Structure formats: C-alpha cells, structure tokens
C-alpha cells in the first residue's frame, strides 16, 4: 500500500525571451526528491529536448545547464498543477489538485505564444482550469515523455515534439 503524499510543484523556469511554455502535470517522486524537472532516468523529456535544442547528451548535463539551454532556446517549463495528493508517480493517482497561476505567468511573460501540455493529465487539468486560454494561445496536447507512455518510442516522441523548433 502506497502512502499518500502532499506534492507541490516547482517554480517555473522562464525568462522574458521564452516563446514556448511546456507544462507537465506534477513532478513524479524522483523529480520531487531531486527537486528537478524530469529527474527520473527513464523519462525521455531531456532526450527529446536534446534533439530540439541540438545539444547532444543534454540529459547528462547538470540541472542548471539543462534549464539554461532550454531558456536559450526560448523554452520555459512549469506544471499545470500546483499542489495535489498522490501515492507514487502516476498521474492517474493525482487527487485534490489545485492549479498553478498560469494566467498570471502568461501576463508577466507576453512572448509566450505556444503552450505544450506534456501528457493527458497536464492537458485535462489545463482544460479544466484554463479553458479560455485555448482561444488565446496555440495549445498542443503532446504525448507524454514519461516511461509510463511505453507505446511511444523515443523516435516517435521526437517526431511529435519536433514542431517546437519552428515555434520559436
């Protein structure tokens, strides 16, 4: 039996040049322990971003360097959910979620034009809390980079996410 944990998302990684905002749902157990986005070694997020940013082996760099490279490529990171209860790391186990203040972030950073929702839960939470933002921004439901999304190979994920290169 898993213990239910109170989970809290991280601060956004963003700057005034950011044009693309990638929103996850809520960091998993490993990410929360490490206090780093996409810290689980099986998550393919950093491998996908390595391709998009043209930086080989991005996943092996230290965390501040990873964030800096994303920002240099006008890519911001955050989560749709601010707090929730969850046992384990599965999005399907998220309960009692509250949203991050995404509208406030978007007002503060007006260069954001594209919002990528990393997986079904990020998308459904965004749609639940911010339905009006679909009319104001180019919002895309993206296949999750999580290892739980086993039906997508790394190559297929890169193919799906690759449009970000042209969004900046």
Q: What is the pTM of this model?
A: 0.92
Q: Which of 43, 73, 74, 118 is an active site residue? A: 43
Q: Quick one: pLDDT at residue 16?
A: 97
Contact present, 40 and 59 (Cβ < 8 Å): no
Residues 71-115 have pLDDT tens digits of 999 999 999 999 887 776 666 666 788 899 999 999 999 999 999
Q: Active-site residue 43, yes or no? A: yes
- Write down all domains in the chain, each with its CATH number in brackets: 5-167 (3.40.470.10)
Give pLDDT < 50 ranges for the chain. Answer: 1-2
Residue 47: count other Cβ atoms within 10 Å of its Cβ. Answer: 16
Q: How far apart are CA 3 and CA 93, in angstroms?
A: 11
Q: What is the pLDDT of residue 95?
A: 75
What's the confidence (pLDDT) of residue 165?
84
DSSP structure class, residue 10: P
Q: What is the pLDDT of residue 161?
A: 96
**Which residues are 116's β-sheet partners?**
22, 140
């Amino acid at each position: 039996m898993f213990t239910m944990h109170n989970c809290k998302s991280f601060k956004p990684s963003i700057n005034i040049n950011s044009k693309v905002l990638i929103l996850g749902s809520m960091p998993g157990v490993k990410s929360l322990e490490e206090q780093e986005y996409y810290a689980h070694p099986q998550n393919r997020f950093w491998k996908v971003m390595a391709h998009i940013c043209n930086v080989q082996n991005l996943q092996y760099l230290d965390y501040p360097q990873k964030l800096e490279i994303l920002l240099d490529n006008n890519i911001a990171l955050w989560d749709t959910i601010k707090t929730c209860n969850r046992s384990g790391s599965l999005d399907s186990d998220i309960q009692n979620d509250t949203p991050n203040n995404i509208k406030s972030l978007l007002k503060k950073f007006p260069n954001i034009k594209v919002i990528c929702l990393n997986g079904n839960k990020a998308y459904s939470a965004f749609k639940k809390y911010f339905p009006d933002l679909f009319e104001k921004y180019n919002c895309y439901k993206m296949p999750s980079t999580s290892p739980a999304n086993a039906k997508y190979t790394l190559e297929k994920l890169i193919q799906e996410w690759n449009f970000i290169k042209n969004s900046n």
